[in-house]
Amino acid sequence: MLHFLVNWLASTPSFATPYALAALGLIISERVGVLSLGAEGFLLVGALAGVAADLEFGGLPAAALVVAMLAAAAVSLLFALLVVVLRVNQVIAGLAIVFFCQGLTSLVGTLGGWTNRAIAGLHAVAIWPLSAIPFAGRILFTQDLVVFATVPIFFLVSRILSRSMLGLRLRSVGENPDAADATGVSVSLYRFGAVLAGSALIGLAGGYLSVVDVKIWIPDMTGGRGWIAIALVIFARWQPWRALFGALLFGCIEALIPRIAAAGIQAPQYFLLMTPYLATIAVMVWVGLTKLGRLKEPAALGRPHVREERR
C-alpha cells in the first residue's frame, strides 16, 4: 500500500507540470484582458517544435524546450496580431488558432519527418542527498528539471504580477484599459508582450508533454489538455498559486487512474476517466458558494481596446 502511495505521488508532478505551466501562461495573457482560447494549439506547436529540435540538434533537451517556447511565441504573434492590432473577436480568433495549429503541426511534422520518432528526451534526476530521504526523497527530489523549475517560475510570475510596477501596469491594462491608456501605458504593447510571454509558457508545457513526458511526437497528441488548462484558470480565479494547486489536483487524479487499473482494484473505468472533470465542476461550485467567488475575472477580459472609444 505504501509502495503504491509513494509511486503514485512520485508520478504526480510530471502530470501536473504541463497543466501548471499552461495555466500560468494563460493567466499572464488573461490578466491583460486577452482571452486565449488557443492554448491547445500552442501546446501542439510547443510539442512538435520540442521534438523537432531534439531530433535536429542531436538530443539537447534543454535547447529543445527553449525552441518549444520560441515556436509557440512565434505562432502567437499571429494571434496577437489578430486580437490586439486588428481587434478581431477574441473567442473566434482563439478557436481559429486551435484549428490552424492542429493542421499546421500535422503538416509540418510530416514534412519535416519528425512524426513518430522516439527521442531520448529529458530524464528525471535525483538530487542527492535529499533524494535519499525515505519516501519524500523519491516524491519531491527525484524529478526532472522542469518540475524543479516550475515552482520558481510561479514565484517569479506571481511576484511580478502582484508586487512590481510592470505587474501593476499589466493588471491595469486588463482591468481598465482606458484608464491605463490615460496614464500613458501602451495598451497594445503590453497586451502584445503578455500574449507572447504567456504563449511561450504554454509552448514550454507542450514541449514538456513531448520531450520530457512521452518522448515522441504524434499529431494531436495533447489530447485536449489545453482546454483543461483554460478551465483551471477559471477555477483558480486568475490567481497563479491557486492554478498550481488545481494543476496538482488534476495531476493527482490523472496519475491515479491507470494505477488503480494496474493494481486490479475494481472500480468503474469510465467513472474514473470522468473524475478530473467532475473535480472541475465540484471546485467551480465550491468557488461559487464561498468568498473565493468574489475574486472577479479581469474586467476587460475578452474586450478589444479601441483608444478613446466611447461606450
| DSSP-assigned letters across all residues of 78-117 | HHHIIIIIS---HHHHHHHHHHHHHHHHHHHHHHHT-TT-
Query: What's the longest Cα–Cα distance across the chain?
Result: 64
User: Min. distance of Cβ 215 from other proteins in angstroms?
Assistant: 6
> Contact between 5 and other proteins (CB under 8 A)?
no
Rounded-to-integer distance, Cα 205 and Cα 45, Å: 10
| Contact of 197 with 34, CB cutoff 8 Å | no
Q: List, in sequence order, the alpha helices (H) in 113-239.
A: 136-141, 145-163, 165-175, 177-182, 187-207, 225-235
Query: Which of the ranges 29-37, 137-145, 233-241, 264-272 carries the binding residues for other proteins, by CB under 8 A?
Result: 264-272
Selected binder of other proteins within 110, 135, 166, 293 (CB under 8 A): 110
Selected binder of other proteins within 86, 91, 92, 116 (CB under 8 A): 116
E strand or H helix at 143: strand 142-143
Query: Which of the ranges 137-145, 150-158, 179-187, 213-221 carries the binding residues for other proteins, by CB under 8 A?
Result: 213-221
> Contact between 265 and other proteins (CB under 8 A)?
yes
> Contact between 262 and other proteins (CB under 8 A)?
yes
User: Min. distance of Cβ 281 from other proteins in angstroms?
Assistant: 19
Q: Please tell me whether residue 168 adopts helix, strand or coil conformation.
A: helix
**Residues at the site binding other proteins, with contacts judged by CB under 8 A:** 7, 11, 15, 106, 110, 115-116, 118, 123, 209, 213-216, 218-223, 225, 254-255, 257-270, 272-273
